[in-house]
Amino acid sequence: MPAPALSIKDLTKTYATGTQALKGVSLEIPQGDFFALLGPNGAGKTTIIGITTGLVNKTSGSVSVFGHDIDKEPELAKMQIGLVGQEANFNPFEKPLDIVTNQGGYYGIPRSIARPRAEKLLRDLGLGDKMNQNGLTLSGGMKRRLMIARALINQPKFLILDEPTAGVDVELRRGMWDYLTGLSTSGLTILLTTHYLEEAEQLCKHVAIINKGEIVAHGTMEEVIAKHHSGEPAKDGYRGGRLEEVFLKLTFEK
């Protein structure tokens, strides 16, 4: 059995403010998976991603990335990961081509290799005509795609995206899901968080639902839906997809 792309055991996080963001989270993401981490705002999704990528210190528990424990082999763990964070975090006065190329420098990729690779990534992501313009001119959806290009410059084995399609209009969102599906098909392991449950239901292989720092469902998309979906016919009014029903049932405020 190859090491899972991500293995998390009994992870807890209490912030300095006293907020208990994670209360003993365990989850596993197999290599090559397209994994959706779902949960309401404040459930702990970004905290899990922060700990996995070395941006946030955990309180207890263990995390390993492709078999590399983040405490014992932090650099090896980090090298496997490309991160598209929840907030845009690039210098808006730089050109997209420079932003992506320079990121290669952090990984020791020579400029002669990073530059053509950055150009190809930006073109593939539909930013071919924007790559030499000031980053200030980019729309929200373009910023997201730029961040995806930047996250892929070191050809990571594991791409983590925190709400990559938030605030992106429907057409671009489809394009982005298509692009991610293509990466997944070519073998990249993907973890994403999203509030677009119908898209996650259609595209993701495994899913975990987190609520108030605890995992309330975890498995293949079909297992989670089969286990928690009532299967009752629609009674009245609006009805979302099956995953949405499961999500609402498991995260309902009592």
Q: How far apart are CA 7 and CA 77, in angstroms?
A: 11
41 binds ligand ADP (CB under 6 A): yes
Q: Which of 100, 78, 106 is nearest to 6 (CA)?
A: 78
Residue 57 near residue 51, CB atoms below 8 Å? yes
Specify the residue, 130 or 206, whose C-beta has the smaller distance to ligand ADP.
206
Q: Out of 1, 2, 17, 186, which residue is the one contacting ligand ADP (CB under 6 A)?
A: 17
- Token couple for 202: 């259609």
Nearer to Mg ion, 157 or 195 (CB): 195
Q: Which of 46, 53, 103, 165 binds ligand ADP (CB under 6 A)?
A: 46
Q: Determine the interface stretch with ligand ADP among 42-50, 73-81, 98-106, 147-155 (rule: CB under 6 A).
A: 42-50
Question: Tokens 């808006």 map to which residue?
Answer: 92
* Stretch 10-49 residues interacting with Mg ion (CB under 5 A): 45-46
For residues 21 and 215, which CB has a smaller minimum distance to ligand ADP in the complex?
A: 21
- Selected binder of ligand ADP within 19, 89, 132, 220 (CB under 6 A): 19
DSSP code, position 186:
T
Residue 38 φ/ψ, nearest 5 degrees: -115, 150
User: What length does the chain have?
Assistant: 254
Give min distance, CB of 199 to ligand ADP, in A: 18
Burial of 170 (0-12, 13-18, 19+ CB in 10 A): exposed
Q: Closest CB to Mg ion among 45 and 145?
A: 45
Q: Segment near ligand ADP (CB under 6 A), from 35-43, 74-82, 88-96, 226-234?
A: 35-43
Q: Give me the torsion for CA of 22, 39, 154, 188, rounded to 10°.
A: 120
Closer residue to ligand ADP (CB): 19 or 202 = 19
Q: Which residues, numbered 178-217, are part of the site for Mg ion (CB under 5 A)? A: none
Tokens read off for 19: 């907020």
**Interface contacts to Mg ion, rule CB under 5 A:** 45-46
